[in-house]
Structure 1
């Protein structure tokens, strides 16, 4: 699959902004575009023909971009459609659900075309619909991964991404407490965890893995939307192997896992 074969939906109420986004997409090689000014019409079109990626503004006439992606994730036929937010919105309460729902990227307005190109390329890799095997699939197929996130939507996105990398052995936990229980009876080559979780959060999970488990050296990759520098510093001090921001792209995942599990340099 190439950029010229992607079906891309653009949901943007401003006619001027729709034109700018559409022209940028065409300039990058996207040929199949559907343009909408409201979320309802876009959802109806999605249910008739599933797009490969949806680019949406945050503030739409009939709902927010957050509500749009939530509606998509509730529909079994749209659960895995990649979502890209293009917005000048910076408020946490709007952006956090977008991150948790597995957005492939959040681009600002005005966006940089290189950022858009990177997001589209990440979508192509995520879709992984070519006949060839995922990169390094033979090396990663026996890697055992524990995926920890209290958001079912985020877990679904991350699990699919990891499988596209060739990881076949994957166990999921909905919070740190469940993860620690699982680790009492199973060993792993990598733990991928969120930070903000109930009961046992990501920092406590890392601390207890390092200090009170039978697997103190297992690599721990934290994928989080946390922005507070003091909290991130505390996570580093707890012994996390690497921290990556949500949204978490395919290229970043591939590079970090090669570094952490296969001991390759980035």
Structure 2
């Protein structure tokens, strides 16, 4: 279990609405975060400046800010060398899948509706604790080498951080299926973690190659994806994926999958 507790979290709340700010601050305080550990900003530029002055554990923002979107903000956070470890939660009434897709890909801890049920925010805060300090895998000192395949740098950074927190010894990265295929033919992997939507060769094509044409046809494969098309996901399952995990996801999901696949 994480040693950090909710009352130790530092949060930056980015919300242009004074009413929404008070509501969310109140809920955060109700869940145990002291008010002095909750900073607020009304726009993205101010939020980024505040983060660089005093880095919070978690940023919570609306989708539409006066100077940028939540997508712009999370990408700025997760592509920054000094900010990318900050967790991010979106609270928004936006329901358009295409608008939310970049947030999912960027490694958001959670996407909550507006208005949300307070218990949803509480769950997201506990997930944040697990992201900050994942419980290591207990595999009897077995050293793991995992191939991570995703065309999004921000997504790879997010997943790599979780895998490292779980105690994975070696993580090799590939930007697409073609690049991954060459690596699979040259190096042994204990497991493969891949996205679905990628250029040149998507996740299904990669799984087809691994299962039918590679030197490691039985390697466990976890697909982490925001893909919502059930027919596509069904095709992936038929191709032989070991498990499918939605974005956003929590460390416990990855931990449970790896333990089940590797023990």
Query: How far off its partner does 1:141 sit?
Result: 5.3
Provide the rounded CA distance (Å) in 2 between the counterparts of 1:225 and 1:242: 14
| Corresponding residue of 1:70 | 75
CA change 1:148–1:138 in 2 (3 A) is same
Query: Which stretch of the first structure deviates more once superposed, 13-22 or 175-184?
Result: 13-22
134-143 or 218-227: bigger deviation: 134-143
Residues 171 and 74 of structure 1: CA distance in aligned 2, closer, same or farther (over 3 Å): closer
Aligned residue number for residue 12 of structure 1: 15
| Cα distance in 1 between the residues matched to 2:141 and 2:47 | 38
Deviation at 1:140, TM superposition (A): 6.4
Contact 2:192 2:221 in 1 (8 A): yes
Q: Distance in 2 between matches of 1:141 and 1:152?
A: 28
Mapped contact 1:11–1:55 kept (Cα < 8 A): yes
What do residues 230-251 of structure 1 show as CA deviations (whole Å, max 9, x unaligned)?
1111111111110011112112
Q: Does residue 118 of the first structure (1) align with residue 138 of the second (2)? A: no
Distance 1:136 1:241 in 2: 19
Which of residues 50, 72, 75 is equivalent to 2:55?
Answer: 50
Q: Distance in 1 between matches of 2:239 and 2:42?
A: 46
Higher RCO (Cα < 8 Å, 6 or more apart)? 2
Instruction: Report the secondary structure of 1:184's partner residue.
Output: helix
Matches within 5 A, 1:1-266: 1-31=4-34, 32-128=37-133, 134-137=135-138, 139=140, 142-262=143-263
Q: Could you tell me how far 1:184 is from its partner in structure 2?
A: 0.5
Q: Contact 2:108/2:248 (CA < 8 Å) preserved in 1? A: yes
* Structure 2: 5+ residue stretches without partners: none
Once the two structures are overlaid, the 10-residue window that deviates more, 147-156 or 30-39, is 30-39
| Alpha carbons 2:79, 2:154 under 8 Å: kept | no
Cα shift at 1:137: 5.0
Please give the root-mean-square deviation of Cα atoms over the aligned residues, in Å. Answer: 1.5
Contact 1:141–1:166 (8 Å) recurs in 2: no
1:141–1:169 contact (8 Å) kept in structure 2: no
8 Å CA contact 2:71–2:102 kept in 1: the answer is: yes
- Bigger shift: residues 11-20 or 232-241: 11-20
Q: 1:17 to 1:141 in 2, by over 3 A?
A: farther
1:133-158 per-position Cα deviation (integer Å, ceiling 9, x unaligned):
x4335546512211000011100110
